[in-house]
Amino acid sequence: MTPLWVPLAVAVIGVLGTLSCGVAGVLITQRRSDRREDRTWERERARERERWSREDEARTVDHRRESYVDFYDSLKAMARLAYDKGYGFLDEPELPDAWHAPAFERLNRLRIYAAPPVAAAAAAAYNAAWQWGHGCRHDDPDDPKFHEGQVAYDHAEIDLLLRIRKDLAIPGSGMDVGAFI
In angstroms, the CA 80 to CA 102 distance is 13
Give the pLDDT score at 178.
54
Closest C-alpha to 78, from 55, 104, 54, 59: 104
Give the pLDDT score at 176.
57
Assess contact for 167 and 121: CB atoms under 8 A.
Answer: no
Closest C-alpha to 156, from 89, 60, 82: 82
Give the pLDDT score at 91.
87
* Domains parsed from the chain with CATH numbers: 60-179 (1.20.120)
Written as tens digits, the pLDDT of the chain (181 aa) is 778 888 888 899 999 889 999 999 999 999 999 999 999 999 999 999 999 999 998 999 999 999 999 999 999 999 999 999 999 999 888 999 999 999 999 999 999 999 999 999 999 999 999 999 999 999 998 999 999 999 999 999 999 999 999 999 988 766 655 555 5
Give the pLDDT score at 179.
54
Give the pLDDT score at 108.
96
Q: How far is CA 61 from the centre of its chain?
A: 4
Assess contact for 121 and 163: CB atoms under 8 A.
Answer: yes
pTM of this prediction exceeds 0.75: no
In angstroms, the CA 119 to CA 114 distance is 6
